[in-house]
Amino acid sequence: MVFFLGTTARKIVDGYGQVAATVGVTAFLVRNPEYAALVITIGSVALLTVAFLRYWCFRFRIDEDRILIREGFLRRTELDLPYERIQGVNIQRRLTERVLGLVTVVLDTPGSIAAEGQLPTVKPEVADRLLERVATHRHGLVAGGPPTVTDAPPESGERPPAAGDVQAAVTDRHSFRGQGRVLQTLTPADLVRMGLAHPRGLFLLVLLAFLGSRSDWVKDTTLKAFGVARSAVGGLGALETTLVATVLVLGCVVLSRAGGVAAAFRNYHRFTLWREGRSYRTRAGLMTEEEVVVKVRKIQMLRLYQNLVQRYFRRYRLETPTIGGSLEDDDYESEGLDADDLEVPWADDALVEEMRSGVFRGEGEQLALLPTDEAFKSVSPYYIRAAALRFLILGWLGGLLVLYVSTWISLVYIGSDALAPEDYIRLSRGLGFAALVWGGVCLVTALPIGWLRWRRHGYMHDDDGIVCRSGLIGYEVEACLFRKTQAVTVKQSPLQRRHGLATLDVETSTGSVTVPYIDHGVACRLRDYALYRAESSGRPWY
């Protein structure tokens, strides 16, 4: 009872207390500005005190077989983490830490998404010592453990990573170059290209290309669009206005591209991907350098994306969702840093192949991830009809909604009394015309879009896994192994039932591979097979 009272009260205080305090202090300052200096002093002293106390109370000890972390002044917490439970030791360096030559050590443990233990801003030597301890501990385990552990054949493979990997990483930690085989490093030129492919600016780029091909039309539109600006500036001729407009549009494009490039640099500066024993490791980042380590075994599926610009450069974005990364936050208490999914943002064909065979490790040898692969089987052409219909209905409904809302807004804005009957007629005519045009556009584009989608759709499977390709302009490829299946669904719409088709949905713990419009019998057989593989697999899926 007391516990619940306490937690409830704390929730309320956490939620509203901060707001109330901020508002209160602000109000007080507004009323009595002469106390501002005092408040600021008190505030900074309090801040310093709290920071110092937290620093003072943060203690950790690296023991033979465990690490102890004690922190907290009022509410003391003590974390006792045996090395056995540590899955990975990740290292992060924020900008300030890099200036000071320090690192933050994040200890990954199984069972929680949030990294449990964190040693903020410690010297690299401490990190080294910890890594060494963890490594030697593992080493001791492996050496003294039952012979089956070391004798396990590689394909049954769920044994601890060779201690050598970790130790090698330790010895090389100072130079901050990882060990293992380097699979990819990104150069600044790659980053610039990547920035260009950033989806945010893609639309503008397309728009620019379109505008460039219609220069007359550009002049007219920009003249109209910037009529307001012209009247404001006054005196400027049509030529100047066009110039201004072009500069504006160009500026937007350049800005968005620059933003994309900057984002690419921020996230992926000095991006390096390693293969270390049974895990992949990436390190990247301009300000905060971040390392992500993902064990191959934990990877549930592979997702590959390619948009237009990436297609031009023949590059892909590859994601490896793992079980921890995608679970809802509220399922677990997540404090501290989230365990991240590993992402390869700019992979070429060879790297994609390498990652595929590395992640599936001897399984799914006949699967291909590259969207242009010949082995993809197309889905039933009835899919075109369904996709077109869906596009049409969605488009019309969306149009109706926009029409309704805009009518409503304009009526409210103008005021219904101020309108003469002929205005009403003109307004409704205009709206009706717009609706007709939109409906027509939807009608005309529905079939081509359906056809495009159908052409992008494809699937393949072998004895171990299934791959599905989809997309409209770019590509999206999803692949998973049957033995990592969590649930399988076979769905049928009325249209599919009439033609003996079905949609197969193979769900893993991080999303599903959905194959639409394949033969119902094939879907059922695949479902039975996936279930059989999942149910007979003696290997853990996580």
Residue 532 engages another protein in binding (rule: CB under 8 A):
yes
Stretch of residues binding another protein (CB under 8 A), selected from 3-11, 15-23, 173-181, 480-488 = 480-488
In the 8-state DSSP scheme, what is residue 542?
A: -
- Site membership for another protein, residue 307 (CB under 8 A): no
Report the distance separating Cα 249 and Cα 518, nearest Å: 45
Q: How far is the CB of 394 from another protein (least distance, A)?
A: 16
CB 92 within 8 A of CB 113: no
DSSP H helical segments within 172-316, as ranges? 188-196, 199-213, 215-225, 227-233, 238-268, 308-313
Does residue number 29 form part of the binding site for another protein (CB under 8 A)?
no
Footprint on residues 501-520 left by another protein (CB under 8 A)? 507-512
**Which tokens sit at 334?**
């997540």
Q: SS3 of 64, please? A: coil
Distance of CA 24 to the CA centre of its chain: 39
For the CB of residue 527, give the shortest distance to another protein in the complex, in Å.
Answer: 7
Q: Which of residues 311-330 bind another protein (CB under 8 A)?
A: 323, 326-327
- Cβ distance to another protein smaller for residue 87 or 306: 87
Nearer to another protein, 328 or 374 (CB): 328
Q: Is residue 77 involved in binding another protein (CB under 8 A)?
A: no
d(CA 81, CA 73): 20
Q: Which of residues 33, 101, 237, 538 is near another protein by CB under 8 A?
A: 538
- Which range of residues in 196-204, 337-345, 365-373, 527-535 is near another protein by CB under 8 A? 527-535
- List the one residue from 124, 160, 259, 336 that touches another protein (CB under 8 A): 160
Which CB, 194 or 534, lies closer to another protein?
534
200 vs 525, beta carbon nearer another protein:
525
Q: Which one of residues 86, 163, 191, 442 is an interface residue with another protein (CB under 8 A)?
A: 86
Q: Pick the closer one to another protein by CB: 445 or 486.
A: 486
Q: Indicate which single residue of 85, 129, 219, 499 sits in contact with another protein (rule: CB under 8 A).
A: 85
User: Count residues contacting another protein (CB under 8 A)?
Assistant: 60
Phi, psi of 514 (to 5 degrees): -110, 120
Q: In the set 19, 101, 156, 330, which binds another protein (CB under 8 A)?
A: 156
Count of beta carbons in the 10 Å neighbourhood of residue 82: 12
Please tell me whether residue 62 binds another protein under the rule CB under 8 A. no
Q: Does 149 bind another protein (CB under 8 A)?
A: yes
CB of 67 to another protein, least distance (A): 13
In 494-541, DSSP assigns E strands to 501-508, 511-519
Q: Quick one: which H or E segment has residue 151?
A: helix 147-151
Distance between CA atoms of 509 and 528, rounded to whole angstroms?
19
Please give the structure tokens belonging to residue 49: 């005190």
From 122, 141, 229, 252, residue interacting with another protein (rule: CB under 8 A): 141
CB of 126 to another protein, least distance (A): 21
Instruction: Return the DSSP state at 486.
Output: S
Q: Could you say whether residue 524 binds another protein (CB under 8 A)? A: yes
**Shortest gap between Cβ of 331 and another protein (angstroms)?**
9
Asked if 112 is part of the footprint of another protein (rule: CB under 8 A), the reply reads: yes
Q: Is 356 helix (H, G, I), strand (E, B) or coil?
A: helix
157-161: long-range contacts (C-beta < 8 A, 24 or more apart)?
A: 157/278, 157/297, 157/361, 158/297, 158/539, 158/540, 161/276, 161/277, 161/278, 161/279, 161/295
497 scored as a contact of another protein (CB under 8 A)? yes
Residue 485 has what DSSP assignment? -
Stretch of 12-20, 52-60, 104-112, 241-249 contacting another protein, by CB under 8 A:
104-112
Distance CA 38, CA 71 (A): 30
Q: Rule CB under 8 A: is residue 138 a binding residue for another protein?
A: yes
Least Cα distance to 124 among 106, 147, 145, 101 occurs for 101
Which member of 174, 214, 491, 498 binds another protein (CB under 8 A)? 491
Provide the minimum distance between the beta carbon of 207 and another protein in the complex, in angstroms, as a whole number. 38
Tokens (6 digits) for 139: 């080493």
Helix (H) or strand (E) holding 410: helix 382-414
Three state DSSP letters for 86-116: CCEEEEEECHHHHHHCCEEEEEECCCCCECC
Answer yes or no whether residue 437 interacts with another protein by CB under 8 A.
Answer: no
Q: Site residues (CB under 8 A) for another protein? A: 83-87, 109-112, 138, 141-142, 144-146, 148-149, 152-153, 155-156, 158-160, 300, 323, 326-327, 485-494, 497, 507-512, 524-525, 527-529, 531-532, 534-535, 537-542
